[in-house]
Amino acid sequence: MYYIIVTGDSGSLGSKIAEKILSNTKFGVIGLSRSWKDKEVEKGKYLKFYADLSHPESIKDLFLNKFRKNNLKIYGLINNSAYAYDDLITNANIKKLSKMYYINVLSPMILIKYAIRDMLLNSTKGSIVNISSISTGTGYKGLSMYASTKGALESLENNVAREWGVKGIRCNTVAPGFMKTKMTKDIDEKDQKKIFKRNCLRKEIEIDYVAETVVFLVSEKSSSITGQTIRVDNGVI
């Protein structure tokens, strides 16, 4: 069996993506989250492993001592996990900013590194999907630093696509609009309504639809799509 790695699979979007992969594709899921500490599950098509992506140096051990030793072949990678440090650039805190870059940029890079190495080892024409944000193209107060990490993922995507397309390995990005998740739960209702007014449909983005797009891009159904950023944002104005 081939597996798709989903980071942050204990969160709202990550869990929905994992659910849809298991129900709509032939692939298994390897979930990576800090929530799985002391309760890792290795059963059937859904394997859960503890991973702290604020420490990207730990990723190598996951691939060598968890995946490869157990002959877990990687077909796909979904870089969904994220840390949001929201503040004005004039208040930038180096410690928080560094943590955000480790989780949002450096760890996805290292995960891509080892996922592609596994694909090459097994001659797999695999697929990588990064989760970005509409904040990369639409300004929001307090999100400049967060948006910069997601913009890095979008730049990474089209260059990885160029580097490895010759081996049949694809890389795309999904940039969702505002969704009600653990990361956005502290935004009050008044501000939420303001955000909704900035999209054509005047409503929040359904997590289910974002997950459907991600699963489509990671699956073989999108075999001719690579190097693209797909915005699922209800048409942000």
Question: Residue 30: what pLDDT?
Answer: 97
Question: Residue 141: what pLDDT?
Answer: 84
Other Cβ atoms less than 10 A from the Cβ of 33: the count is 22
Question: Residue 48: what pLDDT?
Answer: 94
* Rounded Cα distance, 74 and 205, in Å: 30
DSSP codes joined into one string, the chain: -EEEEEETTTSHHHHHHHHHHHHHSS-EEEEEEGGGTT--EEETTEEEEE--TT-GGGHHHIIIIIIITTT-EEEEEEE---------GGG--HHHHHHHHIIIIIHHHHHHHHHHHHHHHTT---EEEEE--GGGTS--TT-HHHHHHHHHHHHHHHHHHHHHGGGT-EEEEEEE----STTTTTS-HHHHHHHHTTBTT-SPPPHHHHHHHHHHHHSGGGTT--S-EEEESS-B-
Question: Residue 153: what pLDDT?
Answer: 96
Question: Residue 199: what pLDDT?
Answer: 67
Whether the predicted pLDDT of 53 surpasses 70: yes
Question: Residue 135: what pLDDT?
Answer: 84
Catalytic residue among 101, 102, 146, 209: 146
The residue among 141 and 64 whose pLDDT is bigger is 64
* Rounded Cα distance, 141 and 91, in Å: 13
Q: How confident is the model at residue 38 (pLDDT cuts 50, 70, 90)?
A: low
* Rounded Cα distance, 234 and 92, in Å: 31
- Model pTM score: 0.91
Q: What's the Cα-to-Cα distance from 104 to each of 27, 149, 163, 192, rounded to whole Å?
A: 25, 6, 21, 24
101 belongs to the catalytic site: no
Cα–Cα nearest to 119, from 57, 159, 163, 149? 163
Whether the predicted pLDDT of 139 surpasses 80: no
Give the whole-number percent of the chain exceeding pLDDT 70: 87
Q: What is the set of domains in the chain, with CATH numbers?
A: 2-232 (3.40.50.720)
Whether the predicted pLDDT of 180 surpasses 90: no
Question: Residue 138: what pLDDT?
Answer: 79
Lowest mean pLDDT: which of 59-68, 196-205, 208-217?
196-205
C-alpha atoms less than 13 angstroms from C-alpha of 117 in its C-beta half-sphere: 11
The residue among 212 and 140 whose pLDDT is bigger is 212
Q: Mind listing the pLDDT tens digit for each residue in 181-198?
A: 555 555 566 666 666 677
Other Cβ atoms less than 10 A from the Cβ of 53: the count is 25
- Mean pLDDT for 72-90 is 95
Lowest mean pLDDT: which of 12-16, 22-26, 80-84, 174-178?
174-178
* Rounded Cα distance, 66 and 80, in Å: 20
Q: Tell me the pLDDT of the chain averaged across its residues.
A: 90
* Rounded Cα distance, 203 and 25, in Å: 30
